Structure 1
């Protein structure tokens, strides 16, 4: 009880301190919620006793905490994890000094069918699990010493409602926002740059005000552009702005002299700070990012950014974070984007739903060309219980909120209104496409509107026939690319989804002489006994093709703006081509644990200008076996292969070839590749035959992390021999123990058919590797993580946490 009172006291102090000093306060509302699967309608009341409920912090995904089970096979496409119905409650006090404020609660996303109450008063329902929304609390709140209770019911019990893993619960951030009675509305500042060149950029700012006073008011608005060094470089003040009704809109024009342009290599960000004054007193302040850039999609030349021809080298990304599930963590998303950036990726498609806002913040800062996607289905369903049932009542509101929330992100270059929509096959596609395009353009006319289409024959595609798309996005069927200019004259194109190649990291099958496509029927799908697929790039879904073949088609089509490969990472759910017990996808260039598959280096050799040399497979085989040896390379003319210092010949890539290959009779020892340019050695790589597994090697991506209760260190566990060589087929059970200022929040190994839980202190290695994810507490100090396994030397790593 003392702890509970202390939490409430902290909230009181925080809110009172703000109310006396600031015009707007955004309060982190994630801490100390009560959670239960108990379905008791009395939970909406303040008198309900929730002391026996679990206490936790948001964001929270209860599905990822469960066990993979055949009991959840109705959600196999969603990962075979539990869903269901649950409740969240939070008690808090509001200081008397906040009585004259307007108070809101905002949710970045709740999956799904959320209903919210404050002090027993019903605030509303939001079916869409990816939508951001808010409710006003003001008139229902109690101020002073009486407690307030927010109750949220989350119902994800109707299954299946998705084709991939969604997570369950309040899995995105929650905030309380307090403003003056006159304030900038939600997502109420919108900036565009109608004119940009090397000398100047014109900036147009739209400010939307909310007036809760019930009478006409007069205010002053000042908008300032601030550069990355914190210097104000432009400002505009508008006085005597009259707000006659509940809302008001005002426009301002500013200029930036010699602007620094946002690009994928230098994503320079300004910010716009808009302040509202009344009677010379600041009553509100609102901040948005500003990236100054110009771009063009051309029917013949593809895409250009700031006047420079640029091929979009993108990937599609689902929203789950592997072992962390759908619960948002900024560091986990940042790690994903860092790995993709090093690969040479410059674009992200948010497949197939609105992402979390923090993900777009990262894309702004790191330089990605984003296709922001709204819907996976319209009125016609893809799953029995999906969003199609809510379409008529909610699609306009959901799309409007999506555009308004995201339209200030410079990383977004195109809006996608759908993915492989079933209405493309009949005339309803014409009507709905036009309706959605009008909604988008009314709110943002500065970007391209597209939709990811499966049919690349004009007569078969009614969405195309609508004439409402600025850019035609086509999924797969790369063999049709050469005919696009003829079949779709004067149209602009993007390969919105490509490849769907299939691999398990570290698994190699030979010989690799032809592309193997999966069966349409999973029951008749040939399968390996361990539910793996070969990591050579020659296995693909029946609708797709290999990474190399897909990239070759895009690379050689100058009229196609670029590609979004399916997918950047493996993801939970959609375990094609295998049924249960497979429970996650095989499509990723990087596995679910964040370990790159070999094809990662093919993209790196094509998508970057740095030297690359990557040799595969491992070098532990039966004596005399013929092994296919591949090398991906770049910035070189040739690669020479050596086995135990004996040359096996020089290979050079031909036109539209992306690797070189040797067939080698195996003998133990050292396989070495040497790349050269004009006779000069560029890179050398060696792979040695590994001996018996001897010890564990633990490597952290960060050994200094923030003591904020959120930051993460991803600790890679390698099973190595006495000389430090990775043992390629090691599958030891690794046990973890942890002491100090941190906890283990997830474990993984990237194996798509592993049924071990993600929330555990152990993990079996898969092909020599596994992962522990460590999260800091809010106290500075040290975290000591020990990894051990039977018969191996253990390893200990120390991670420091600082404010």
Structure 2
């Protein structure tokens, strides 16, 4: 696909391009919506227009509503019916061009018109699509009017979907002869450390019937041109496919540690004049899955340590933002993860650009449902599957198949058609979907299967290259023996579903909490809708992180795992009912603050020294407290309370951490010291915090770009007079911005906070922390953010806008 990640190389290439081409089409839109679930057209038309900038999610602007038809699965936020309008004028120089509008995603049931002409409808809210505008456009200073209508009738999803044009829109000017959108396919059928054969297939639309030439230049990771391929095309009005080949000597291989990228720039020339330029990023790597030994990348064994991720960005809703996605990936990379599963739909294209650049192994998923309804979401994609699945799946593969981060395709997740014994519907659909993928790409195909009986129809189809297992950790040892026997490799497409609220601890820590359902949790759960951050809470079908990790590390045939989930996400607040409105599954909370389990993974999967102690050290004197210590690169840990040793402990057998349970709390200092061969590796201290005294604001980046897209994230800590975090502080934080920016959103990570995200003035801290997301106004200068709270010393951060 065309890379949208603005590397210096791409900027250099585009700067030399005399032919105006693809540009963002996000500004100058008007919008109105009716959030009633009746999809009342008259009610919509009566609403006033208001200006918005894309990407835009109208649902995140709504108050949390327990009566919303989305239910708490959809974060209790309304959908409804929305309309977008944009007027624009084209230069007369565009008259001889082919002009297209490209939508990266509209949720959902979108219909598009240009100047009163209906261009089409796409029901699937996660798919990218394009329409040609050329026949219906006006020039000579006349206005063109683009209309986009979106229907989001709920419930249609098992998580928060968002509503509207929530991904980027592009206006694409092409010559009469051009490379089709998603028209390049770059594959590397032969790869070694010494050489790589690169095949470049390019689909050209030729409307000139004149002498046409395709010039493709390969650039290396440093932006240096290393090869130009020239191919004359047959004089032929219509569509034709061109194959170009090049052998790269000593290629820079793509891996999770060194994600090297090449770039192919395709130039279409007619009678020597450039008509179109198309840019494709790609990577050179080879890999395979072995049933017994797992996954190998560039001939080296690699354990895929991944996370499932839904598409929302917390307080930003579903409206995509590259910096927000990059921040999420940076946080996940920091805990040792190297994989992402796009749950359960095609992602934003920019997410894959980031995964290419940062070194993630992506399971790229298309469908959550096929032909049958799922979990009482009657307006879901099953209504459209029969008519649209081939088109949607085809477009998904064509769009994403050049990404080196994509290692496998998933055609379904926990599909009801798994079950049925002699029912062949699931087998036939599986074979049909896999055949569609294989016509377009040769990467392996999998699916997430949560039905672990040998009459599973997806397994019996024989079509899947990799068997994706969801949960059922007690059966992992039996894979390949009595469970799903055969010669197919196994991957844990989804596992764990541990539950936690950041900074909350229920004791005793060795008492596992698994509630059967809402009725059960209502009787015995916590009244403040919290879950314990010890390794002692999970969904009833699932496991704790500790339980899953021990088994995953034990069996080499488990090629990888994608834990549920990397971040908390809007919707699906298992196991609580409303007013809980976001999930508890994340290793990181919805604001981007790590929970304790983050450091468990970091201690196992990174080489960086880790010594993390939980819980906090603010309790009632004499209260019995369990203390857990996550550490690595050391033989033992010694724990001290007020400088008195309470013992030394080492990991035994398959232990992942050590426990000092049953300590009596004394106010003061809790200190852990890790040692290797008697030498101190690390030490960490937790102190009993006093009363909240002041605020400390810290920004993740002090310099940002002046566009409307770059976002700095400001963490606010409530501390005592000695600088210790107050672990239960919930002070109301008030925010004020001066300068060339504004507050985009506020958050605190609490799953049951019902303050609307549209409120950008104040929000309570949760367990001592708060978050402010800042957005530049488009002008250079400085942004000053002041955070205050009654009775506390305020804090200010300053951000340079370049």
TM range (shorter): over 0.9
Are the counterparts in 2 of residues 708 and 778 from structure 1 also a CA contact under 8 Å? yes
Task: Point out where structure 1 has 5 or more consecutive residues left out of the alignment.
Answer: 1-17
Match of 1:438 among 435, 439, 443: 435
Shift of 1:787: 0.6
Secondary structure class of the residue paired with 1:481: helix
Q: Is the 8 A contact 1:735 1:788 kept in 2?
A: yes
Given that 2:515 and 2:521 are in contact with CA atoms closer than 8 Å, whether structure 1 keeps it comes out as no
CA-CA distance at 1:212 after TM superposition: 3.6
2:217 maps to which residue? 224
Name 1:380's counterpart in structure 2.
Answer: 372
- Provide the residue aligned with 1:10 in structure 2: none
Instruction: Please tell me whether residue 492 in structure 1 is matched to residue 489 in structure 2.
Output: yes
Question: Quick one: distance in 1 between partners of 2:773 and 2:160?
Answer: 20
Cα drift, residue 480 of structure 1? 0.8
Answer yes or no: is 1:356 the counterpart of 2:348. yes
User: 1:247 offset after TM fit, Å?
Assistant: 1.1
Give distance in 2, aligned partners of 1:243 and 1:389: 44
Question: What is the deviation of 1:759?
Answer: 2.3
Which of residues 387, 391, 402 is equivalent to 2:396? 402
Cα–Cα, structure 1 residues 498 and 20, in superposed 2: closer, same or farther, change >3 Å?
A: closer
Instruction: For 1:565 and 1:19, locate their aligned partners in 2 and report how far apart those are by CA, in whole Å.
Output: 42
Match of 1:547 among 526, 545, 548: 545
CA distance in 1, matches of 2:40, 2:141: 26
Cα deviation, 1:228-277, whole Å, max 9, x if unaligned, reads 221111222112x1253531111111111000110101101111111111
Residue 611 of structure 1: CA displacement? 1.1
Aligned-partner SS, 1:554: helix
For residues 241-252 of structure 1, the aligned pairs below 5 Å read 241-242=233-234, 244-252=236-244
When structure 1 is superposed on structure 2, of 218-227 and 697-706 the one drifting more is 218-227
Deviation of the 1:73 alpha carbon: 4.8
User: Which residue in 2 is equivalent to 1:782?
Assistant: 782
Q: Does 1:179 align with 2:178?
A: no
What corresponds to 2:129 in structure 1? 133
1:332 to 316, 324, 333: 324
Shift of 1:147: 0.5
Between 32-41 and 591-600, report the one with greater CA deviation. Answer: 32-41
Q: 1:607 aligns with which of 586, 605, 608?
A: 605
Relative to structure 1, the CA distance from residue 248 to residue 217 in structure 2 (aligned partners, 3 Å threshold; closer, same or farther) is farther
Aligned length: 775
Q: Which runs of 5+ in 2 are unaligned?
A: 1-13
Within-5 A mapping of 1:179-328: 179-213=174-208, 216-239=209-232, 241-242=233-234, 244-328=236-320
Q: Once structures 1 and 2 are overlaid, which stretch shifts more, 792-801 or 596-605?
A: 792-801
Post-superposition Cα deviations, 1:296-332, rounded to whole Å, max 9, x if no partner, equal: 1001100011111000000000000000000010000
Offset of residue 136 of structure 1 = 0.5
Alpha carbons 1:191, 1:205 under 8 Å: kept = yes
How many Å apart are 1:514 and its aligned residue?
A: 3.0
- Of residues 620, 623, 626, the one that matches 1:622 is 620
CA-CA distance at 1:482 after TM superposition: 1.3
SS in 2 for 1:25: coil
CA distance in 1, matches of 2:40, 2:503: 49
Post-superposition offset of 1:75: 2.9
Q: How does 1:564-643 map to 2 (within 5 A)?
A: 564-643=562-641
Is the contact made by 2:564 and 2:586 (CA closer than 8 Å) also made in structure 1? yes
Q: CA deviation at 1:20?
A: 13
Partner Cα distance (2:46, 2:240) in 1: 44
Quote the offset at 1:76 in angstroms: 1.7
Q: Secondary structure at the match of 2:560?
A: strand
> Alpha carbons of 1:523 and 1:127: their partners in 2 closer, same or farther (altered >3 Å)?
farther
Q: How far apart in 2 are the matches of 1:74 and 1:363?
A: 31
List per-residue Cα deviations over 1:609-632 (Å, max 9, x = no partner).
Answer: 121100000000000011001100
Give CA-to-partner distance per residue, 1:428-468, whole Å, 9 cap, x none.
111000000000000001x1100010123322x01110010
Residues 1:582 and 1:42: Cα distance change in structure 2 (over 3 Å): closer
The alpha carbon displacement at 1:758 in A equals 1.4
Aligned partners of 1:68, 1:152: CA distance in 2, in Å? 26
**Deviation digits for residues 745-770 of structure 1, max 9, x if unmatched?**
11111100110111221110111111
Moved more, 596-605 or 553-562: 553-562
Asked whether the 8 Å contact 2:81–2:150 carries over to 1, the reply is: yes
Cα displacement string for residues 501-529 of structure 1 (whole angstroms, at most 9, x for unaligned residues): 00000001111123221213446542111
1:23 Cα deviation from its structure 2 partner: 3.2
Contact 1:319/1:326, CA 8 A, preserved across alignment: yes
1:794 aligns with 2:788: no
Offset of residue 160 of structure 1: 0.4
Task: Report the counterpart of residue 643 of structure 2 in structure 1.
Answer: 645
Structure 2: distance between partners of 1:154 and 1:205: 37
Distance 2:798 2:621 in 1: 41
The Cα offsets for residues 326-352 of structure 1, whole Å up to 9 and x where unpaired, read as 001000000000000010000000000
Change over 3 Å in CA distance of 1:299–1:182 after alignment to 2: same
Residue equivalent to 2:739: 740
CA gap 1:98/1:20 in 2 versus in 1, 3 angstroms: farther
Equivalent residue in structure 2 for 1:483, among 468, 478, 484: 478
Is residue 522–residue 578 contact of structure 1 (8 Å, CA) maintained in 2? no
SS at the partner of 1:416?
strand
SS at match of 1:251: strand
User: Structure 2 length as normaliser, TM-score?
Assistant: 0.95
CA contact (8 A) 1:695 1:719 kept: yes
Q: Tell me, yes or no, if the aligned pair for 1:19 and 1:97 is still in contact at 8 Å.
A: no
Q: Point out the more displaced range, 617-626 or 31-40.
A: 31-40
Q: CA deviation at 1:41?
A: 7.0
Question: Residues of 2 paired with 1:139 and 1:571: CA distance?
Answer: 42
Aligned-partner Cα distance in 1 for 2:345–2:175? 33
Matched, 1:693 2:692: yes
Q: Are 2:32 and 2:82, in contact at CA under 8 Å, matched by a contact in 1? A: yes
Query: Separation in 2 of the partners of 1:721 and 1:21?
Result: 57
Please report the RMSD computed on the Cα atoms of aligned residues, expressed in angstroms. 1.8
Report the TM-score, using the length of structure 1 for normalisation. 0.95
Contact 1:117 1:123 in 2 (8 A): yes
Q: Which whole-Å deviations, capped at 9, do the CAs of 1:205-230 have from their partners, x for residues lacking one?
A: 100011345xx443111212101221
Task: Please state whether the residue corresponding to 1:631 is helix, strand or coil.
Answer: strand
CA distance in 1, matches of 2:280, 2:17: 22
Residue 101 of structure 1: aligned partner: 97
Distance in 2, matches of 1:20 and 1:637, equals 58
1:153-199 CA distance string (max 9 Å, x none): 1111x210000000001000001000111100010011000000111
User: Using the alignment, how far apart are the partners of 1:384 and 1:318 within structure 2?
Assistant: 21
Q: Distance in 2 between matches of 1:49 and 1:756?
A: 28
d(CA) in 1 for partners of 2:574 and 2:339? 24
Check the 8 A contact 1:505/1:598 in 2, yes or no: yes
Mapped partners of 1:406, 1:42: distance in 2: 39
Q: Is the 8 A contact 2:69 2:154 kept in 1?
A: no
Task: Name the CA distance, whole Å, in 2 between partners of 1:75 and 1:511.
Answer: 33
Matched residues in 2 for 1:90 and 1:472: separation?
A: 46
Distance 2:502 2:401 in 1: 37
Between the aligned partners of 2:462 and 2:40, the Cα distance in structure 1 is 50
Distance 1:43 1:626, change over 3 A: closer
Moved more, 554-563 or 72-81: 72-81
Cα separation, 2, equivalents of 1:468 and 1:547 = 31
